[in-house]
Structure 1
Amino acid sequence: MVKPVILCVDDQRDVLAAMKKNLEPLAGVFDIMSAESAGEADELLHQLIGKQPVPLIICDHIMPGENGIDFLIRLGSDPRFKNTRKILLTGLATHQDTIRAINEAHIDRYLEKPWHEDRLLTAAGHLVTRFVVESGLDCRSIRDCLDPEQL
């Protein structure tokens, strides 16, 4: 069985490490991958197309190069990722940034840094379940990680 991918994008390695640690309960079923920029995330996503589904991207906003909101807006316009769920994880977004994230990037969750570990894991579990249900993926092998109320 091909493992679906949860992609974490942040320019700070310690934040990526913390995200991966928080998502560890899902690691047996999902590949938890990381990228330090939108460009690196693009490269990873290009490699994954047609090989592994990407149910969830967790992305920081303030990064060198392309910021997280612009990256998520661009990703949302790509039909290959139409069902991919998005979490914006940031501590520096302005009110206007937040409005753009909701209205243009169509994020599914907004979590502030520093985040509460349980909130990230709960949000991730809920959103990957929505992805599985809406995409029609065979969920038998990953059922234990999904939100039973949504199945």
Structure 2
Amino acid sequence: MEKINIICVDDDREVLDSVLRDLDYFSDFVNLEACESAFECLELLEELDANQEHVAVLISDHVMPGKSGVDLLIDVEEDPRFIGTKKLLLTGLATQADTIRAINNARIDYFLEKVWDPEELLQTVKELLTTYVVEKGLDYETYADKLDARTLSRFAI
């Protein structure tokens, strides 16, 4: 089975732990990775790429020291190694200009505001992960029950 990763990035450890807890549903077939900065995430992306692992979903806060989440998501969008990676901006402090940059330049797939509804986060990530898995042609039979049935049916031939 191919290794699939969901990466969560936030400089607040409590927020990271909360997101990981909300996404624990996926932990039996997906690696849940936590990064406390955009730079840490970029290092992890290099490592995952070197190991030929999939980065299915990247969830990032925006306001972080050193490099913003929007800038991180733009970097990922522009990197051909991560074509198809689904990007979710999870923040409470993005301005309208930041959000427009995220949409236009990072081509984010979804935006959620802090404080988020755990069920909405889980369902959103389930849909994004399902789309990634199908678009990449990954074998998902062993964990199909954990994916979003409605999204899977959209891809049915």
Fold shared, TM-score > 0.5 on shorter chain: yes
Whether 2:14 is the aligned partner of 1:14: answer yes
- Residue 88 (structure 1) aligns with: 89
Whether 2:146 is the aligned partner of 1:150: answer no
- Structure 2 residue runs of 5 or longer lacking an equivalent are 153-157
- Counting aligned pairs with the same residue, the percent is 47
Shift in Å, 1:145: 1.5
Structure 2 counterpart SS, 1:93: coil
Name the aligned partner's letter for residue 11 of structure 1.
D
Q: How many equivalent residue pairs? A: 151
Structure 2 counterpart SS, 1:51: coil
- Structure 1 residue runs of 5 or longer lacking an equivalent are none
Structure 2 counterpart SS, 1:14: helix
Is residue 29–residue 145 contact of structure 1 (8 Å, CA) maintained in 2?
no
Question: Deviation above 2 Å: which 4+ runs of structure 1?
Answer: none
Q: Deviations over 1:52-111 (max 9, x none)?
A: 211000000000011000110011011111100000000001111111111111001100
Shift in Å, 1:137: 1.0
Structure 1 counterpart SS, 2:106: coil
Structure 2 counterpart SS, 1:7: strand
- Residue 155 (structure 2) aligns with: none
Name the aligned partner's letter for residue 123 of structure 1.
T
Structure 1 counterpart SS, 2:17: helix
Shift in Å, 1:142: 2.3
- Residue 98 (structure 2) aligns with: 97
TM-score (norm 1): 0.97
Q: Deviations over 1:93-150 (max 9, x none)?
A: 1111111111111001100001010011000000000101111111112212211122
Mapped partners of 2:102, 2:9: distance in 1: 15
Name the aligned partner's letter for residue 41 of structure 1.
C
Name the aligned partner's letter for residue 20 of structure 1.
L
Whether 2:54 is the aligned partner of 1:42: answer no
Is residue 9–residue 38 contact of structure 1 (8 Å, CA) maintained in 2?
yes
Once structures 1 and 2 are overlaid, which stretch shifts more, 104-113 or 141-150? 141-150
Structure 2 counterpart SS, 1:150: helix
Mapped partners of 1:39, 1:53: distance in 2: 19
Once structures 1 and 2 are overlaid, which stretch shifts more, 20-29 or 42-51? 42-51
